[in-house]
Structure 1
Amino acid sequence: MTDVAPLSRNARIYIAGHRGLVGSALWRRLSDRGFENLVGRPSAELDLRDARATAEFFDRTRPQVVIAAAALVGGIAANAARPTEFISDNVRIQVNLLDSAVSWGVERFLFFGSSCIYPKFADQPIREDSLLTGQLEESNQSYAVAKLAGVAHVQAIRRQHRLPYITVMPTNLYGPGDNFDLESGHFLPTMIRRFHQAVRDGASEVTCWGTGRPRRELMHVDDLAEACHFLLDCYDDYRPINVGIGRDMTIGEVADLVAATVGYRGKILWDPSKPDGTPQKLLDVHRLADLGWSAKIPLEEGIRTTYEWYREHGEARPE
C-alpha cells in the first residue's frame, strides 16, 4: 500500500452508471463537495457492453478517475431468470471499462465487488480474505463469478501496470433511486412496495419470500458514496476492502420495520417454497474503521427517507 493524493476538485471523473442507485449517490456526493467536472452517459447513449464504443468514449472524454457503478444487478428472482445476462453483460462491462482505463491513462479506478460474491458459508463476520475459499450461493452464481473476474482483473492491472486501482466490497444497499420492481428488485425495496400497496388496497395479508430467518446487513447508499470518496482519497491496496455498517438483523425484523414505517398493520406471511439465499452476510469492516471511516445513517431513518422517495417518484412508474 502506497500513499495517494486526495482527489482534485478539478479532476475529470467518469461515473459509469451515474443514473443507478450507486452512481446517482456518488454523483450527489461529489457534486455537493465541489467536484464540477463529472462525466456521465446514460446506457441509451453509451452501451458499455460494446468495446469499441467504450474505447471511443474514453478517447473523447479522457477521464482521470473512473468509478465503475455500471452493472446488471437484481434480486434472487432476476438472477434465477437471467443467469446468462448476469454473467455476460457484467463481464463485458467491466472488461471494457478496465481495458479502456488502462489504454487511455486513467489515474484512479474504483471497481465494485459485492458482499454476495463471498462464499455462501463464510465465517461471520466476513473478512476480505474469505474470497474464493468456498462454494458460492447458487441463486446468484453467475453474477458472483462475473464480479470475481473483475476483482482479479483489478489485481492483475495493479501487478502489471502499477496503477492504484482499487476494489470496494459493499454490503446490501438501499436508498433513493432503488429498483422497486417486484420481479427484479432486491428484498428491501420490494418490501417497501408490497407493504405500501397493501396499505393502499386495504389488504390484510402480505406474503414475503423465504422464511424470514436469514440475516442481512443494510447500508444506505449515501453512506457508501461517502465511503468511496474517502477511499479514493486515501486507499491504495491490492486487497478489496469491505464497506458496511458492521451490524445485521433478520429479514423478518426488516419486514417488521418496513411495515411500521409504511403504516401496515396486517399479517406478514412467509413463503418457504421460495429461496432464502445466503443464511448470513455480515461484513467485517475493521480495516475500513481502522482507516477512520464508519457509516452514519441509522436504518430506521434510511428506510423512512427511502419510502418518502418512493412515494414521490416510484408510484409514478407502471405497476
Structure 2
Amino acid sequence: MTRDREQMNGLVGPMRVLVTGSSGLVGRAIERVVKEEGGERGGEEWIFLSSKDANLMSAEETRAAFERHRPTHVIHLAAMVGGLFRNMRQNLDFWRNNVFINDNVLQAAHEFGVVKVVSCLSTCIFPDKTTYPIDETMIHNGPPHESNFGYAYAKRMIDVQNRAYFQQYGRRYTAVIPTNVFGPHDNYNIEDGHVLPGLIHKTYLAKKEGKPLQVWGSGRALRQFIYSLDLARLFLWVLREYNEVEPIILSVGEEDELSIKFAADSVVEALGFEGDVIYDTSKSDGQIKKTASNVKLRKYLPDFKFTPFRAAIKETCDCTFFPPNFEVKYYPDVSSFTRQTSQREQQRPHTGEQMDGSVGPMRVLVTGGSGLVGRAIERVVKQEGGEKAGETWIFLSSKETNLVSAEETRAAFERHRPTHVIHLAAMVGGLYRNMRQNLDFWRNNVHINDNVLNMSQEFGVVKVVSCLSTCVFPDKTTYPIDETMMHNGAPHESNNGYAYAKRMIDIHNRALFQQYGLKYTSVIPTNMFGPHDNYNIEDGHVMPGLIHKTYLAKKEGKPLQVWGSGRALRQFIYSLDLARLFLWVLREYNEVEPIILSVGEEDELTVKDAVDAVVEAFGFKGEVIYDTSKSDGQIKKTASNAKLRKYLPDFKFTPFKKAVKETCDWFAANYDSARK
C-alpha cells in the first residue's frame, strides 16, 4: 500500500507538512501560528522552505527538496509576485515563471505520494468583466484584467491542474483564493509591491522626510483586505478539514470591502502622519472592484472572527520586522532568470535584420513535421510550388527532437537557426484518450509550447504561427464562435487539459508582444483530416477513426460500429487546404490575435454525414450501427470564418466528398505504414 493510501486510511502517523514560499508574507504568518499560537499538533513536523533552500523554477531542485523532506502534506505559497505596475511591465515573466513553479511542485507532490496540497491563488484570477460578488464557480468565465493577465492565468491553471490530478489519479489537491493579503513580512517595495505594503512604506518615508504622501490612482478602487495571521489560521483549517478539490475563497465579507482611500487613511492614522495626501490620478487604479463572496467559507466556519482592519493595520505598521522588509522578494532566483532573458533578448541573431529586409529569404522550421498537417505543408511546399526561391524549409519530427525537453529544443534551434517557425508539435488524441489523460495532455503540451516559444524568442525568430483547435472555445457559448470568444468560459470537460494548454499559447503570444513587441500568432482550424493522420481507432480523431473502422469492416465482412449517435455537428477541413492557408498566415497575416481557419457555417456536417461519405468512398455495403452508449463529445462547435473571408474572400476549399475519397484511397494504399 502506498503512503498516500495509508495516510488516507489513517495508517500513517501525524502530518509532515512542507510549506513553500515560507519566507514570504503568508509563510511567515503560518510559521507564527504554528509555532507561537499552538497551531502545531502533537507529533506533527513542519518544514518551512524558502528560495534559499530550493529554486522551485528547477524541476531537479524541486524533486531534490521533496526527496529530502518526504512531506505527507504541502502548503504551496511560492510564486513570483509583484504589484500592479510590475505586472503590467512583465506579464510574460509572471506567466512563465509561475507556471513552472506550480507544475514542479504539484508533479513532485504527486510523484512522492503527497496526500494533500493546498495552493494559494488570488482574486485577480477572476474575470475582469463579471457580476458581483464573485464566487468559486466563476474563475474561468472570462479573461482576467489585462494589467496582470500573465500572473492571473498562471494561478488559474493551478485549478485546472488540480482537477486533472483528481480525474486521472484521484488526488485531492485543492486551492484557496484569498482576497488582498497584508501583514508583517510583506514585500514593501514601492514600485513592485502590492497596494497596502506600498502605502505603508510610502507613508513611513513621507513622515520621516517631511514630504507629502503620494498615493497612486484615484483612491476609489474597492478591495477586501485580509490580515495574514487570519489567513494563516484559515490555511490550517483548509489543510486539515476541507476535502473538496474545488477552490474556496478566504475573505472577509462583502460588507467589509474598503476603498483604497480608506486604507490610506488607516495607514496615515497608524503611523501618525500629518502631512498632505495627494492622489496621482495619472496612475492606473487597476480593477475598480473585485468583490468576493465568502458564503462558502461561512457555511463551513460561521463563527470565525477576523481581526478588525484598523487593528491589523496598526500591528503591521508597528511591527519590528518592517525596516528589513523594504526589498523582500519571494524568489530572487526568478529575478535572476528574468535578467538572463533580457540579456539574451539583446543578442537576438536576426529579428531586427529580417524585419528591415537586410537578411535573405525565410528559413522556416516546422515542428511536428511528420504529422497530418506537417506532411500536408511539406507536400504543398515541395510539390505544389509553395516554396519561394532561396527559402529553406526544415521539417522537424519527434524522432529528431523531444520538444518536451528544453535542452533538446534549444539544441534544435541552435542547429537550424530558423527565422520563422510553424509550430504544430503536440501530444494529441481523440475524445476517449483525452477523457482518460487530461493531466498528461495539459503538462506535456504546456512544456512543448513553452519550449518552442521561448527558444523562438531567444534565437530571434521573426514570426511563429502555432496551431490551436476549436476545442479551446467555451463549452457553454453562443454560436457561431469567433476569435474574440476563446477565453469566455471553461472548455468542454472531456478534453480540458489539452484545450487549456492550447489556449495558453494565445496568452504566451500576447505576453511576448506586450513585453518584447514580438508578433507571434496562432491559427484555429476546425476538424482536420487527410493523409498521414493518426488512424488509431481508440485514440484517434473522428474522421481517421471512421476511415480505419470502415476499412476493417469491409475487409472482414462485419458491421461498421460508430461511436455515439451520429448527430454531433462538425466543420471538417482537408489538411491540404489547411496547409495552403498556413503559408498565407506565415507570409501575410500580421496580427497577434488568432484567426480561425475553417469552411463556412453552411458547410457544417453531422458525424452521420461524415460516416456516409466514408462508406461511399470505400464502397462499404454492410450494416452501420450507432453505439449510443458512447459519448458524442460536444454536440456542436460551429465556428465563423468571417475573419478569414475578410482577408481571403475567394479561397476555394476542396469539396468534402472529394477530400474524403482522396484520404480513403491514400489510407488503403498505405495501410501497412499508416499510423494506427
TM-score range, shorter chain: over 0.9
* Correspondence for 2:6: none
Provide closer, same or farther for how the CA distance between residues 239 and 312 of structure 1 changes in structure 2, counting only shifts above 3 A.
same
Match of 2:565 among 211, 220, 226: 211
Is 1:256 paired with 2:609? no
Q: Post-superposition shift, 1:81?
A: 2.5
Is the contact made by 1:244 and 1:295 (CA closer than 8 Å) also made in structure 2? no
3-state SS of 1:314 partner:
coil
Runs of 4 or more off by more than 3 Å in structure 1?
315-319
3-state SS of 2:670 partner:
helix
Return the alpha-carbon distance in structure 2 between the equivalents of residues 33 and 112 of structure 1. Answer: 19
* Correspondence for 1:34: 387
For residue 575 of structure 2, what is the amino acid of its counterpart?
V
Match of 2:511 among 141, 156, 159: 156
Greater mean alpha carbon deviation, residues 21-30 or residues 138-147: 21-30
* Correspondence for 2:580: 226
Q: Post-superposition shift, 1:60?
A: 2.4
Count of residues in Structure 1 that have an aligned counterpart in Structure 2: 314
For residue 177 of structure 1, what is the amino acid of its counterpart?
H
Match of 2:464 among 94, 109, 117: 109
3-state SS of 1:14 partner:
strand
Return the alpha-carbon distance in structure 2 between the equivalents of residues 175 and 81 of structure 1. Answer: 26
* Correspondence for 2:658: 301
Q: Give unmatched runs, 5+ long, in structure 2.
A: 1-354
Is the contact made by 2:535 and 2:545 (CA closer than 8 Å) also made in structure 1? yes
Provide closer, same or farther for how the CA distance between residues 315 and 53 of structure 1 changes in structure 2, counting only shifts above 3 A.
closer
Match of 2:361 among 1, 10, 14: 10
Match of 2:412 among 57, 60, 63: 57
Match of 1:265 among 611, 621, 644: 621
Give matches, 1:138-153, under 5 Å: 138-153=493-508
Return the alpha-carbon distance in structure 1 between the equivalents of residues 477 and 533 of structure 2. Answer: 27
Provide closer, same or farther for how the CA distance between residues 24 and 318 of structure 1 changes in structure 2, counting only shifts above 3 A.
closer
Return the alpha-carbon distance in structure 2 between the equivalents of residues 33 and 10 of structure 1. Answer: 14
Q: Post-superposition shift, 1:40?
A: 2.5
For residue 34 of structure 1, what is the amino acid of its counterpart?
E
Return the alpha-carbon distance in structure 2 between the equivalents of residues 295 and 287 of structure 1. Answer: 15
Is the contact made by 2:532 and 2:674 (CA closer than 8 Å) also made in structure 1? no
Bigger Rg over Cα: 2
For residue 273 of structure 1, what is the amino acid of its counterpart?
S
Return the alpha-carbon distance in structure 1 between the equivalents of residues 652 and 579 of structure 2. Answer: 10
Q: Post-superposition shift, 1:314?
A: 2.4
Provide closer, same or farther for how the CA distance between residues 167 and 199 of structure 1 changes in structure 2, counting only shifts above 3 A.
same
Greater mean alpha carbon deviation, residues 107-116 or residues 129-138: 129-138
Is 1:280 paired with 2:633? no
* Correspondence for 2:374: 23
Greater mean alpha carbon deviation, residues 116-125 or residues 305-314: 116-125
* Correspondence for 1:236: 590
Return the alpha-carbon distance in structure 1 between the equivalents of residues 646 and 668 of structure 2. Answer: 38
1:222-260 C-alpha deviation (Å, 9 max, x unpaired): 111111111122211122110000121111111111111
Greater RCO, CA 8 A, separation 6+? 1
For residue 244 of structure 1, what is the amino acid of its counterpart?
S
Provide closer, same or farther for how the CA distance between residues 96 and 236 of structure 1 changes in structure 2, counting only shifts above 3 A.
same
Q: Post-superposition shift, 1:299?
A: 0.5
Return the alpha-carbon distance in structure 1 between the equivalents of residues 598 and 486 of structure 2. Answer: 16
Is the contact made by 2:429 and 2:541 (CA closer than 8 Å) also made in structure 1? yes
Provide closer, same or farther for how the CA distance between residues 276 and 9 of structure 1 changes in structure 2, counting only shifts above 3 A.
farther
3-state SS of 1:280 partner:
coil
TM-score, normalised by the number of residues in structure 1:
0.93
For residue 630 of structure 2, what is the amino acid of its counterpart?
K
Return the alpha-carbon distance in structure 2 between the equivalents of residues 141 and 177 of structure 1. Answer: 26
Q: Give unmatched runs, 5+ long, in structure 1.
A: none
Q: Post-superposition shift, 1:318?
A: 8.6
1:274-317 C-alpha deviation (Å, 9 max, x unpaired): 11111112210011111025342110010000001101112445
TM-score, normalised by the number of residues in structure 2:
0.45
Match of 2:541 among 181, 186, 190: 186
- The RMSD of aligned alpha carbons is 1.9
* Correspondence for 1:66: 421
